[in-house]
A and B are shown apart, each in its own frame.
Chain A
């Protein structure tokens, strides 16, 4: 029996006929506006139980004992499980390094680590039972920063490491280290007329997707389990879940439930294994839904970072060299830290030409909350720092900050610090020109005939200023992000495309395992199928593990990679359709054999536009189906000593201009406008493209002025795990975001497209910071910047 709310196929019919390049509307739009779209937390099953996780109340401790007896004795409680109840020898999971315990074993390494799980007939029963589990902790000193992590007598967060980074890191509390050395910094420094140094701090940001971690595990008659789940990558989850359950992958069926945003926070597992364990133990369906408090402990965050930069430039404004050290706090478990290190190091130079560099990036193991993927993935932290450096240099040289950047901007053909040439358009100077050329918003928009409209002023409805102390500032920034998985990862996707006649009409069905997390991949897949197969009606099959992996919905990669896979599968289907057509109708017209044939508007046409027949006739009585993997160009690992290697697939660029108004006395900031220019290669769906850019821009704004998970440095405990104290921008904090979309094709990519989701998140933050610096004259070396930083009261 399928779970209530289980996704069904989405068919988009005749209302929209758009192929690629059109702003077709979302196929799931109607369901989402009527409340009928089933998100993972909406799943429901008759007779289901509720799962609850007991989490550690301390950050670092030995577990002396766990007593579950009282919890188990409670009426309505069906199961209580701890480490000792795990069914197989596989008791850890992890994206790259399997260092994360499913349930804590003898030790907890961060605040909020799962220790025990409960299944009961009502969420309150489950909560009460969890509260009755007695855990005796013996607290250990906490590792919270680089100094404590690498001290000679430092406690090791993980003893006996045997992962593939263990051999090359300088200390066992360093997850991974990636140096990049190119040219000769010592020599180049001699050419510098000015040198600027900076030490920057990037706070811990949370993805803060609105749909909390949740899912429903339904035990199946064959001893397996069916998991309805919100995730970014079904097959990666599957690979980690099945061994812990002791089941072959075929017996763990996974279906993507509605996903309420992701932004990297669903790349790691959260409640997946716990729900499956409880379902298999109790023989009943088990639903787990985190509340917001638990969500802050239930997923990894963006790595907070310390960044040390030195840049030099000649008097006429040419960059001479760059030296940097980026220290990322990975927290207690590895998650995506190694790849974040790779990105931070390889993109630490920014979109600039600098031949002589000396770069080092590391990620630490600490007892802070685990950190991993979040939109921008290592490139965000670097961009914040190098863009601050660019402004400092420009100021020191007496140059315009935009002109200075343009003078040093990379372009197609530039060699990256990794030795990799940039082999597609890199319109960095042009993007800056475009944001600068946009008209500025009018001054003093708060003034009206009825006095000051506080909604348009810093402080907003809180009525803190009627114009007093308000100073406008303008700032610019530009960034570079890689697209797709890098460093030699086999980054493929799979698409199954089927064509048949239904009710006299040709219909295409696209089946992939791509996680639609809101980005609009389902819209684009239908557009691709229409363009390639000439049909109007395209059915998007629910994403599940009955088809090959689509890879992750992350790294700005899905339109490129799964879009590429859909295109490829459509092309193969088209060939088969044409073969059928030739077989059936080839004798009627010579063009079947001689001409280049296309599928358009439900017909087979020649490239000259001559109609050879109806697709419906060709497909009558036939079903054409192709499932095929598709890969982009391979990449290489970075050399562990020199960082050299063709590590990235594609780059993505965006530039921002921020206009802010700062109440300089109270240190309150209102961002008035955040203009963005981005090269997207080819906008498959212009409406969605702009939506992605505006959304990414706003997340960058959030970490510029308000968003930070605050961890107590003495206890490593999270102090603000709620939406009361972890603030994300409201509609009154978010400015107008004019977007200028540039389309310079990348010849290596499907349709020339460029991954777009992350680049706007990079440059938004430093642009806002630059504007605040411009308004206040303050140096501001950390983000987010809070009122105390602007008023000398930190």
Chain B
């Protein structure tokens, strides 16, 4: 079957999709967006978290056909999404992002080897600065979840952070530096840095 939907503000079309494919598979294998991760494919780890019409969901549990006509934001589009939100724009993309604008997350003038020079969202930068990234496989899902929590709750308590991220498993860090990163992002955000 064919599926048309919007990813990071950009219209996408996937063809010859097998009806049992998940949104995760379509993103990773058909649209060249492997940032959302395939760690468990059973909704028990959060590594594939994306925003579907603004709501964080496990993309492994969304059937590809279910996203027809809908808006998806993945980790690849997170920086742009956060930027538009900070600028008071329409972060969902529903209010008409032009194709060229939408492509800008791909065509940034960064160092292709390290990504240096890439514009990052506050939560992405905080994960790097706080040492919250080790193997990094859980990171994309955590970033999408953490960014959404900070959108709803700009001044979270530790218990709020833990609850909001309780659907995202990390096996490397013991979560301490992830807590640090989210606190750091919240603090920077409230200082307007």
Enumerate chain A residues within 8 angstroms of B18, measured Cβ to Cβ: 122, 124
B113 within 8 A of A: yes
| Cα–Cα distance between A60 and B111 once the two chains are bound (Å) | 53
B114 touches A13 (CB 8 A): yes
A interface residues, how many (CB within 8 angstroms): 72
A42 within 8 A of B: yes
B41 touches A291 (CB 8 A): yes
- Most B C-beta atoms less than 10 A away, residue of A12, A32, A455: A32
B81 within 8 A of A: no
| Cα–Cα distance between A652 and B79 once the two chains are bound (Å) | 41
Enumerate chain B residues within 8 angstroms of A32, measured Cβ to Cβ: 133, 136, 139
A437 within 8 A of B: no
A693: nearest chain-B partner, CB-CB: B174
A698: nearest chain-B partner, CB-CB: B174
Enumerate chain A residues within 8 angstroms of B38, measured Cβ to Cβ: 41, 212, 289, 291
Which interface class (under 10, 10 to 19, 20 to 34, 35 or more) fits B? 35 or more
Distance of B85 from chain A, by nearest CB (Å): 17
A292 touches B163 (CB 8 A): no
A685-703 CB contacts (< 8 Å) to partner B: 687-688, 690-691, 694-699
A194-246 CB contacts (< 8 Å) to partner B: 207-212
Q: Which of A320-328, A588-596, A710-718, A723-731 binds B?
A: A723-731
A39 within 8 A of B: yes
Across the interface, B114 reaches (CB within 8 A) one of A11, A124, A260, A688, namely A11
Across the interface, B159 reaches (CB within 8 A) one of A207, A291, A453, A696, namely A453
A30: nearest chain-B partner, CB-CB: B115
Q: Is the interface of A mostly helix, strand, loop or mixed?
A: loop
A263 within 8 A of B: yes
A292 touches B74 (CB 8 A): no
B65-83 CB contacts (< 8 Å) to partner A: 74-76, 78-79
Q: Which of A89-97, A512-520, A766-774 binds B?
A: A512-520
B131-187 CB contacts (< 8 Å) to partner A: 131, 133-140, 143, 159, 161-163, 165-179
B15 within 8 A of A: no
Distance of B24 from chain A, by nearest CB (Å): 11
B11 within 8 A of A: no
Distance of B63 from chain A, by nearest CB (Å): 13
B42 touches A724 (CB 8 A): yes
Distance of B71 from chain A, by nearest CB (Å): 18
A53 within 8 A of B: no
Distance of B110 from chain A, by nearest CB (Å): 8
Enumerate chain B residues within 8 angstroms of A36, measured Cβ to Cβ: 35, 76, 115
Once A211-B39, A728-B169 are accepted as A-B contacts, the answer to whether A13 and B135 lie under 8 Å apart by CB is no
Across the interface, A292 reaches (CB within 8 A) one of B41, B159, B175, namely B41
B101 within 8 A of A: no
Across the interface, A261 reaches (CB within 8 A) one of B35, B113, B118, B135, namely B135
Enumerate chain B residues within 8 angstroms of A211, measured Cβ to Cβ: 37, 39, 135, 137
| Cα–Cα distance between A30 and B74 once the two chains are bound (Å) | 16
A-B contact count (CB 8 A): 211
Q: Which of A184-192, A416-424, A732-740 binds B?
A: A732-740
B166 touches A292 (CB 8 A): no
Once A31-B115, A731-B166 are accepted as A-B contacts, the answer to whether A25 and B128 lie under 8 Å apart by CB is yes
Across the interface, A23 reaches (CB within 8 A) one of B20, B131, B178, namely B131
A38 within 8 A of B: yes
A667-699 CB contacts (< 8 Å) to partner B: 687-688, 690-691, 694-699
Across the interface, A260 reaches (CB within 8 A) one of B75, B137, B174, B176, namely B137
B3-45 CB contacts (< 8 Å) to partner A: 18, 20-21, 28-29, 32-42, 44-45
A74-123 CB contacts (< 8 Å) to partner B: 122
B120 touches A30 (CB 8 A): yes
B116 within 8 A of A: yes
Across the interface, B134 reaches (CB within 8 A) one of A13, A208, A518, namely A518
A11 touches B74 (CB 8 A): no
B36: nearest chain-A partner, CB-CB: A35
| Cα–Cα distance between A5 and B32 once the two chains are bound (Å) | 10
B112 within 8 A of A: yes
Once A33-B139, A687-B131 are accepted as A-B contacts, the answer to whether A518 and B172 lie under 8 Å apart by CB is yes
Enumerate chain B residues within 8 angstroms of A461, measured Cβ to Cβ: 163, 166
B133 touches A26 (CB 8 A): yes
| Cα–Cα distance between A736 and B76 once the two chains are bound (Å) | 31
Once A35-B140, A289-B38 are accepted as A-B contacts, the answer to whether A260 and B128 lie under 8 Å apart by CB is no
B158: nearest chain-A partner, CB-CB: A736
B92 within 8 A of A: no
| Cα–Cα distance between A42 and B120 once the two chains are bound (Å) | 22
A517 touches B163 (CB 8 A): no
Once A124-B20, A209-B171, A292-B41 are accepted as A-B contacts, the answer to whether A736 and B131 lie under 8 Å apart by CB is no
A209 touches B176 (CB 8 A): no
Enumerate chain A residues within 8 angstroms of B35, measured Cβ to Cβ: 34-36
Across the interface, B39 reaches (CB within 8 A) one of A13, A25, A29, A210, namely A210
A606 within 8 A of B: no
B25: nearest chain-A partner, CB-CB: A123
Q: What 0/1 readout, one digit per residue, does chain A (605-642) give for beta carbons within 8 Å of chain B?
A: 00000000000000000000000000000000000000
Distance of B87 from chain A, by nearest CB (Å): 20
| Cα–Cα distance between A453 and B45 once the two chains are bound (Å) | 24
Enumerate chain B residues within 8 angstroms of A687, measured Cβ to Cβ: 131, 177
A402-460 CB contacts (< 8 Å) to partner B: 453, 455-456
| Cα–Cα distance between A11 and B117 once the two chains are bound (Å) | 13
Ordered by A's residue number, 26 sampled pairs between the chains whose C-beta atoms are within 8 Å are A8-B112, A13-B116, A25-B128, A26-B128, A29-B127, A30-B118, A32-B136, A33-B125, A35-B140, A122-B18, A210-B39, A210-B171, A211-B137, A291-B38, A691-B134, A691-B172, A694-B174, A694-B177, A695-B172, A724-B44, A730-B167, A730-B168, A731-B162, A731-B175, A731-B178, A732-B162
Sample of 13 more A-B contacts, CB < 8 Å, known A34-B79, A36-B115, A732-B163: A10-B113, A11-B113, A28-B136, A34-B76, A35-B76, A36-B35, A39-B137, A44-B34, A210-B170, A212-B39, A699-B171, A723-B45, A731-B161
Binding site for A on B (CB under 8 A): 18, 20-21, 28-29, 32-42, 44-45, 47, 74-76, 78-79, 110-116, 118, 120, 124-125, 127-129, 131, 133-140, 143, 159, 161-163, 165-179
Across chains A and B, which 9 residue pairs bring their CB atoms closest together, nearest first?
A35-B35, A518-B135, A260-B137, A30-B115, A32-B136, A694-B174, A698-B174, A723-B44, A42-B34
Binding site for B on A (CB under 8 A): 5, 8-13, 15, 23, 25-39, 41-42, 44, 122, 124, 207-212, 258-263, 289, 291-292, 453, 455-456, 461, 517-520, 687-688, 690-691, 694-699, 722-724, 728, 730-732, 734, 736-737
